[in-house]
Amino acid sequence: MNIITDFPHWFIIFCLLLGALFAFLLYYKDKRSEIPLWLKSMLAPIRFLVISLIAFLLLSPLIKSRTRVEEKPKVIFFQDNSRSIIASSDSSYYQNQYPDLLSSFLQKLENNASVKKYLFDENVEEMSGLSFDGLRTDFSKIPDLIENNYTNRNVAAVILASDGIYNTGADPLYAMRSINYPVYTLGLGDTGLKPDVVVRDIDHNKIAFSGNEFPVEVNIQADRCEGRKLSVSIEYQGRNLRQKQLFIGKQEFNQNLRFMLEAGSPGMRKYTVVLDDLENETNFKNNRKNFFIEVIDNKSKILILYNGPHPDIAAINSALIDKDNYEIEMQSLSEFKGDLGNYALAILHQIPSNTRYAANLHEQLKQNKTSLLFILGPQSNLNFFNNLNSGLKISSNSNAFEDAFPAINPEFVSFSIDEASRNQIREFPPLQVFFGNYIQSNAIQKLLNQRIGSVVTDKALIAFNTAVKNKTGFICGTGIWRWRIEDNKLTGNQHAFNALIGKIVQYLVIKEDKRKFRVDTKKQITENENVIFEAELYNDNFELVNDPEVRIMLQDLKNNKYPYTFSKRGNAYYLNAGKLQTGEYNYRAETQLGIKNYVEEGVFIVSGLNIEQSRLRADHNLLFRLADEHGGRLLYTGELEDFADELSARDNFKTVLSYSKSYAELINLSWLLGLIILLLSIEWFLRKWSGTY
């Protein structure tokens, strides 16, 4: 143990001189002192020692100590805790005999090593007991734990007990390449290929539209079932909707089947793919698999209304026609007898126009709440258009036009366009626009400005106004059909043009949420996920508030009820309801702001995660390669007792001796403070006893 300080050692002389000076001035300079000389000879050293010690502590001295450390070899043991371990034919062994065998092996190892034990499935945690209830298996978390906790430690071996089946995360051979210690693998599970049919995968859209058909592709795998027929069906609420027959022609069989289903009424719908249970099959749990489709109301209806034939109309229609969520209807103004209110969006090409049919549309446009997209051109009636008070007015001689190239406005943030499409748009040819004065309200958001020659103006080429009662967009020129042709010429496709039109239409079709109380959660949640709710409450000025309490009641199909109260987070609300049992749940959230009550209701589904039951054949080849690449070997449970002795005999299985240095501030020693107080107390007592102060 050494005492060190940042100051030179000769500074201690100043500390001693300071103590001597204090003692001399207090006890020897004053000749009138009534303290006897023999007492002064006792008090002066005490004062000298206290002052010198305090002065030395002001130098911030440190105590440097050197400690001998013996580190036993470390063995890091990882036990696969996933469901696939006990889903095989040996489930009874792994639930009853294996835990005792493993405990005996680890205790034997601990005689000569420090053993760190972990369980892993989709996460890694310290071992407290085997449950084999993990829903996924992820090997990639293991090297992260080793790197974070055992770098530069005396690690003698890593032992990994698993069946080699993984279903999430990176390939173990790739993920664990960073481990620099010997890796031994303990092979669990059954490697035998037994008769089994399984629903391997289901591909489907997450959303379907009511009344439409949607495709479902099912991947079927079969092992050792050759020569048998297999029935594959899709069920909904116990009803068989579709069925197909398969002939399994070889020992290891794999085939995709495509079904077309009709979406029913709106809501979250649960479908089940069902396979026949074959004779001698060992695992029936993977013969059924659920999938969920959210069925929503009919497609958004879009009206393309035109004053007269024009290639712009075909270009817009081609950009939208393949969109599953839109129903496109095209009509000329002369034939249109309908109501704009029946559509989510009306695209008006050169309407209002100068024709007599425009008068029939005048009142509809003034009273209309449907989103509008105006495309202005030579046939447009500017007086009529300006009288709509849409936020954009154009003062122009109707016969005066000019060419305007698109210039992207970098300040537009309502939606984004990818960089590749932006680059294409910059190369698009000009539109024919009105020459004149553009009066734009502050609510106008410009996506594209007009570039006249090389000058970018502040005139809108494509813009929007959301401050009016209905969302309104403007394309201030005709000729966008040339953009589609140019896009195809430059890239061989119409991606940029279609993306631009698609973004414009999507922005105008989506209705703003005007609800003052909103509750959001995922519609479909797997059983290993927490159920998260977020809520927002707005006052009459549409300002977020969270003063009132928000309560929510969850109810499953068995009428079990689960009440919760939201926590406040920022200006909103948050609730983590944890993990719930599989099934369908309804929720009802309530709150009160002032005298108004607000209620939000909804439904969500917690789906089972049976991925661990879908594949039960142990992959010991993976375990062999993993051990071989890290200087270890593949073990089996019968070798465990002898392996503990074998591991202890390895050259790297040794205790490492090291020394560690530690530093502590001298001023933090409590006994030193006690000594100073004791000396000052003795001095005070002796001075009082002598009759002085």
Domain ranges of the chain: 2-67+664-689, 73-191+617-648, 196-293, 300-509, 517-607
Q: Can you give the pLDDT at residue 213?
A: 84
Cβ atoms 442, 409 nearer than 8 A: no
CA distance 314 to 148: 60
CA distance 349 to 378: 11
CA 126 to chain centre: 25
pLDDT at 157 over 70: yes
Strands 207-209 and 213-223: unpaired
For the record, the structure tokens of 47 come out as: 């004062």
Cis peptide before 352 (omega within 30 of 0): yes
Cβ atoms 411, 444 nearer than 8 A: no
Residues composing the chain: 693
Please report, for residues 33, 58, 687, the alpha-carbon distance to residue 680 in angstroms, rounded to integers and kept in the order given: 19, 18, 11
- Burial group, residue 134, by CB count within 10 angstroms (0-12, 13-18, 19+): buried
Per-residue H/E/C for 304-362: EEECCCCHHHHHHHHHHCCCCCEEEEEEECCCCCCCHHHCCEEEEECCCECCHHHHHHH
Q: Beta-carbon neighbour count of residue 534 at 10 Å?
A: 14
Dihedral angle, C-alpha 381, 382, 388, 393, nearest 10 °: 160
pLDDT per residue as tens digits for the range 505-534: 989 988 777 789 999 998 888 888 899 999
Report CA torsion sign: 471, 472, 475, 481: positive
DSSP one-letter string for 126-148:
E-S-----BS---TTHHHHHHHH
Which CATH number is associated with domain 300-509?
3.40.50.880
Asked if the domains at 73-191+617-648 and 517-607 fall in one CATH topology, the answer is no
Mean pLDDT for the stretch of residues 216-237: 92
Q: Can you give the pLDDT at residue 398?
A: 64
* Nearest one of 289, 455, 295, 464 to 371, comparing CA atoms: 464
Q: Can you give the pLDDT at residue 358?
A: 59
* Nearest one of 83, 109, 165, 116 to 101, comparing CA atoms: 109
Buried b (16+ CB within 10 A) or exposed e, 398-416: eeebebbbbbbbeebeeee
What are the start-end ranges of the H helices in 374-470?
382-386, 419-426
With vertex at residue 12, the alpha carbon angle to CA 680 and CA 46, rounded to the nearest 5 degrees, is 20
Helix (H, G, I), strand (E, B) or coil at 518: strand
Q: Can you give the pLDDT at residue 257?
A: 94
CA distance 74 to 116: 7
Q: Can you give the pLDDT at residue 14?
A: 87
For the record, the structure tokens of 165 come out as: 């089946």
**Residue 360: band (very low, low, confident or very high) from pLDDT cuts 50, 70, 90:** low
CA 668 to chain centre: 46
CA distance 543 to 598: 16
Class of the CATH-defined domain 73-191+617-648: alpha beta
Which CATH number is associated with domain 517-607?
2.60.40.1930
Amino acid at 318: S
Per-residue DSSP letter, 307: S
Q: Can you give the pLDDT at residue 373?
A: 95
**Residue 538: band (very low, low, confident or very high) from pLDDT cuts 50, 70, 90:** very high
Among 16-20, 46-50, 295-299, 461-465, top mean pLDDT goes to 461-465
CA distance 177 to 196: 33
pLDDT at 69 over 80: no
**Residue 653: band (very low, low, confident or very high) from pLDDT cuts 50, 70, 90:** confident
Q: Can you give the pLDDT at residue 637?
A: 92
**Residue 206: band (very low, low, confident or very high) from pLDDT cuts 50, 70, 90:** confident
Give backbone dihedrals phi and psi of 492, rounded to 5 degrees, phi first. 85, 5
Helix (H, G, I), strand (E, B) or coil at 192: coil
600: part of which helix (H) or strand (E)?
strand 596-607
pLDDT per residue as tens digits for the range 304-321: 999 889 999 999 999 998
CA distance 155 to 255: 47
* Nearest one of 2, 50, 3, 5 to 23, comparing CA atoms: 50
CA distance 451 to 178: 56
Please report, for residues 628, 630, 632, the alpha-carbon distance to residue 182 in angstroms, rounded to integers and kept in the order given: 9, 5, 5
Q: Can you give the pLDDT at residue 362?
A: 66
**Residue 359: band (very low, low, confident or very high) from pLDDT cuts 50, 70, 90:** low
pLDDT at 428 over 90: yes
Q: Can you give the pLDDT at residue 553?
A: 97
Round the CA-based radius of gyration of the chain to a whole number and report it: 40
Q: Can you give the pLDDT at residue 403?
A: 95
pLDDT at 148 over 70: yes
CA distance 374 to 348: 5
* Nearest one of 405, 387, 466, 400 to 437, comparing CA atoms: 400
CATH superfamily for 196-293 is Immunoglobulins (2.60.40.10)
**Residue 693: band (very low, low, confident or very high) from pLDDT cuts 50, 70, 90:** low
pLDDT per residue as tens digits for the range 386-411: 988 889 999 987 678 999 999 999 99
CA distance 596 to 553: 19
Per-residue DSSP letter, 512: P
Per-residue DSSP letter, 84: G
pLDDT per residue as tens digits for the range 260-303: 999 888 888 889 999 998 888 877 888 988 888 888 876 788 99
Q: Can you give the pLDDT at residue 353?
A: 85
Report CA torsion sign: 609, 611, 612, 614: positive
Cβ atoms 209, 250 nearer than 8 A: no
Please state the pTM of the whole predicted model. 0.58
User: For the chain, what is the total number of helices (H) and then of strands (E)?
Assistant: 15, 36
pLDDT at 639 over 60: yes
pLDDT per residue as tens digits for the range 4-45: 888 888 888 888 898 888 888 877 776 656 677 777 788 888
**Residue 200: band (very low, low, confident or very high) from pLDDT cuts 50, 70, 90:** confident
Please report, for residues 252, 466, 471, the alpha-carbon distance to residue 444 in angstroms, rounded to integers and kept in the order given: 63, 8, 11
467: left (phi over 0), alpha (psi -120 to 50) or beta: alpha
With tokens 């009160």, the residue in question is: 592
CA distance 233 to 288: 10
CA distance 157 to 154: 9
Cβ atoms 16, 50 nearer than 8 A: no
Cβ atoms 382, 396 nearer than 8 A: yes
pLDDT per residue as tens digits for the range 601-635: 999 999 887 776 667 788 999 999 999 999 999 99
Mean pLDDT for the stretch of residues 47-64: 87
pLDDT at 212 over 70: yes
Dihedral angle, C-alpha 496, 498, 499, 505, nearest 10 °: 150
Q: Can you give the pLDDT at residue 389?
A: 86
Q: Can you give the pLDDT at residue 448?
A: 96
Q: Can you give the pLDDT at residue 282?
A: 76
Q: Can you give the pLDDT at residue 612?
A: 66
CA distance 176 to 143: 6
Per-residue DSSP letter, 113: S
Per-residue DSSP letter, 506: H
Buried b (16+ CB within 10 A) or exposed e, 214-252: bebebebbbbbbeebebebbbbeeeeeebeeebebeeee
18: part of which helix (H) or strand (E)?
helix 11-27
Strands 229-236 and 196-204: unpaired
Averaged pLDDT of the chain? 88
